[in-house]
Amino acid sequence: MKLPNGEIVISDMNPSDLRHLIQTGEGTFLEFKKTVPAPAKIAREIAAFANTSGGTILIGVEDNKQITGIRSYFEEEFLLQEAAQKLCVPAVQIYIELVHLPDTDVMVVRVPEAKKKPVYLKGKKKRQVFVRFQDESVLASDEQTEILKQQYSDTGVTFEYGKHEQMLFRYLNEYGEINVQKFSELINVTTYRASKILVNLVSAGILKLFRKSEKDYFTFANPVK
C-alpha cells in the first residue's frame, strides 16, 4: 500500500487472487476502472464506498473484466489522492497497493467505510452525497442523507407513537412497503413532514429504507410475524 512517506508497498494479493476477484464482477463492494478518470469522477466512487460499507477500486481493469494495466503509477496515485483528500469532505484515507502481473501492474485501491457519515463530494454549486447501490455509485436521496446524518450524530433520535405512526404501521402491515409521496397522502401532510417521520423511524431502528426501481421505499426493519 502507499505509506505516508510515499513508499510503495506491493500487495499481499497475488495474481491468482486478483484474477479471481475480477471474475466476481463489479458490485456493491467492487469497481473497475481502466484508468483513474478526472478527480471529480473518481471522488464520487470513493465517497460512495465510504458512505456505504467500504469497497475496492481496481485501476487497470475494464468493465468487461479485461486487464489492461496502468501506465503511470505516480500519475494515477496523484489523481486518487487529490480526489480523496481534497474533493471528499471529510477527507477519506485510502490505501493503495500494487499487484504485479507478468506484463503489467494493477492498482488495488481500498476504501474503508467512513467512521463519520455522510462523506460529501464537493461540487460547483453544492456538496452532494453518493452511496453504493449494486454496481453503481448513485446520488443519495434527501432521506438517505438525513438517515446517515442521524445515525452518526452525537444526539439521540426521539419520536412519538401518534396517530400518523399508527396509520403508517397499519398500512405497512397490509401492504408491506410505502414511499414518501404515498405516506404524505395517507396522513394528509406535506412530503417534507412525511419524510421527517419516516427518517426518524429508520434512525430509531423501527423501519428500514430500501431502493426499488430507482425510488426509495420504507418497510419494517423486523418484519411482523
pLDDT digits (tens, 9 = 90+) for 63-110: 999 999 998 899 999 999 999 999 999 999 999 999 999 999 999 999
130 or 124: which leads in pLDDT: 130
Neighbouring CB atoms inside 10 A of 51's CB total 26
| Residue ranges in the chain assigned as alpha helix (H) | 15-24, 39-51, 73-82, 142-151, 163-175, 180-187, 191-203
In the chain, the percentage of residues whose pLDDT exceeds 90 is 78
Q: Positive or negative, the Cα torsion across 138, 142, 143, 146?
A: positive
pLDDT tens readout for residues 178-220: 999 999 999 999 999 999 999 999 988 999 999 988 899 999 9
pLDDT band at residue 144, thresholds of 50, 70 and 90? Answer: very high
- Identify the DSSP state of 84: I
- Give all domains of the chain, ordered by start, each with its CATH number: 8-139 (3.30.950.30), 142-220 (1.10.10.10)
Please tell me which residue, 56 or 8, carries the higher pLDDT value: 56
Q: How far apart are CA 105 and CA 98, in angstroms?
A: 7
Enter the C-alpha cell of residue 179.
414511499
Closest alpha carbon to 26 in 6, 50, 55: 55
122 contact partners, CB below 8 Å, separation of at least 6:
43, 86, 87, 88, 89
Q: Which residue has the cell 471528499?
A: 88
What does the pLDDT read at residue 217? 97
Task: Report the alpha-carbon distance of residue 9 to residue 98 in Å, rounded.
Answer: 7
**Average pLDDT, integer, range 159-185:** 94
> pLDDT tens digits, residue range 58-74?
999 999 999 999 988 99
Percent of the chain with pLDDT over 70: 91
* Count of other CB atoms within 10 angstroms of residue 205: 11
Express each pLDDT in 38-58 by its tens digit: 999 999 999 999 999 999 999
